[in-house]
Amino acid sequence: RGSMPPGWSAPGLGGPAAGAGLGPGGLGGPEGGLPSDPFRRKASQEPGMTTEELMAKFAEERDQERLKPMDGKEWRTRQEKGLRPEIANANIQPPGMAELMSQCQPFPRPLPGERDEQQEGAGEAPLSQDEALREKALKDLERSQMPAVAAEEGGQLVKTIEHYSFADGEDIATFYVHFDKDLWDGASKHISEGQVKVDSKASSLEICLKDVPVSERTLQTLADWRLSLSPLFGRVEPMMTTQKMKNGKLTVKLAKAKN
């Protein structure tokens, strides 16, 4: 058996080897084995921070971050973080209910006989003489421009229906005559179903309104209002023509002929 050098002994048996120079830490290690954790040693040497102190430090860092001068880079950084630069440093409280109610003022009602000066100032400017004459001429202008002419037979006045509406369908073509709009205002009061005559042929249509005043200013002058359409857009079936008068409007429907 070999013998150990002088001054050496096996671990755990006591002797100088149990001290510095040999141990669990190896030859030349510190007394007692491996060195302690350096982070643990540092923590043990420096005082720690409580949770409240740590949160306060984070809040201080955030405040310092917000107070940085605004430049292009900082603006983009805040946009990426979801912050609105225009209100990043704002600390505005919403108005309370009392403040909102104080701003709601009831609209003042004028006293009886009191005139509103603002409304007088906001009125339309007076028209010039030329504009007044032009407006009067437009009001006097009748809806139907063509004059009434005397027919050859009997001398009865005839006036042309210059305006009407038309709707085209796949099988039906419809014509509309609004008496108050297409003739003159108030004409529907002077037209009954007995005065309406519709004559349709294979390629023509004639609508006649018998004994209707020429205009509202000359109610005593009667004329036959006529709408003559010839040739039509295509051939129709005269026997299938229908007419209806309701609410001051005449509706005439023509059935298209099948080829």
**What's the whole-number mean pLDDT along residues 61-85?**
69
| Same domain flag for 155 and 81 | no
85-99, 156-170, 211-225: which range is least confident on average? 85-99
Q: Look at 125 and 165; give whichever has higher pLDDT.
A: 165
Residues 208 and 199 sit within 8 Å (Cβ to Cβ): yes
142 domain-assigned: no
Q: Look at 110 and 223; give whichever has higher pLDDT.
A: 223
Residues 143 and 163 sit within 8 Å (Cβ to Cβ): yes
Sheet order of strands, 157-160 included: 149-150, 157-160, 218-229, 205-215, 196-200
What local confidence, expressed as pLDDT, does residue 147 receive? 75
13 domain-assigned: no
Q: Look at 169 and 67; give whichever has higher pLDDT.
A: 169
Q: Is the pLDDT of residue 89 over 70?
A: no
State the CATH number of the domain containing residue 158.
2.60.40.790
Distance (Å, rounded) from C-alpha 205 to C-alpha 96? 74
7-16, 48-57, 59-68, 84-93: which range is least confident on average? 7-16
What local confidence, expressed as pLDDT, does residue 213 receive? 92
81 domain-assigned: yes
What local confidence, expressed as pLDDT, does residue 25 receive? 47
| Same domain flag for 154 and 81 | no
Q: Is the pLDDT of residue 90 over 90?
A: no
Place of tokens 């009191």: 114
177 domain-assigned: yes
Q: Look at 108 and 206; give whichever has higher pLDDT.
A: 206
174 domain-assigned: yes
107 domain-assigned: no
- How many distinct structural domains can be found in the chain? 2
**What's the whole-number mean pLDDT along residues 144-167?**
81
| Same domain flag for 75 and 174 | no
Q: Look at 42 and 208; give whichever has higher pLDDT.
A: 208
Q: Look at 113 and 228; give whichever has higher pLDDT.
A: 228
Average pLDDT over the chain reads: 75
129 domain-assigned: no
23 domain-assigned: no
Q: Is the pLDDT of residue 245 over 90?
A: yes
Angle, vertex CA 97, rays to CA 92 and CA 98, nearest 5: 105
| Same domain flag for 80 and 155 | no
**What's the whole-number mean pLDDT along residues 109-120?**
56
Among the three residues 49, 68, 85, which one is the final residue of a domain in this structure?
Answer: 85
Residue 47: cis peptide before it, omega within 30 degrees of 0:
no
Q: Is the pLDDT of residue 47 over 70?
A: no
Is the full-model pTM beyond 0.75? Answer: no
Distance (Å, rounded) from C-alpha 92 to C-alpha 237? 79
75-89, 113-127, 195-209: which range is least confident on average? 113-127
Domain that includes residue 51, residue range: 37-85
| Same domain flag for 156 and 234 | yes
Distance (Å, rounded) from C-alpha 212 to C-alpha 195? 8
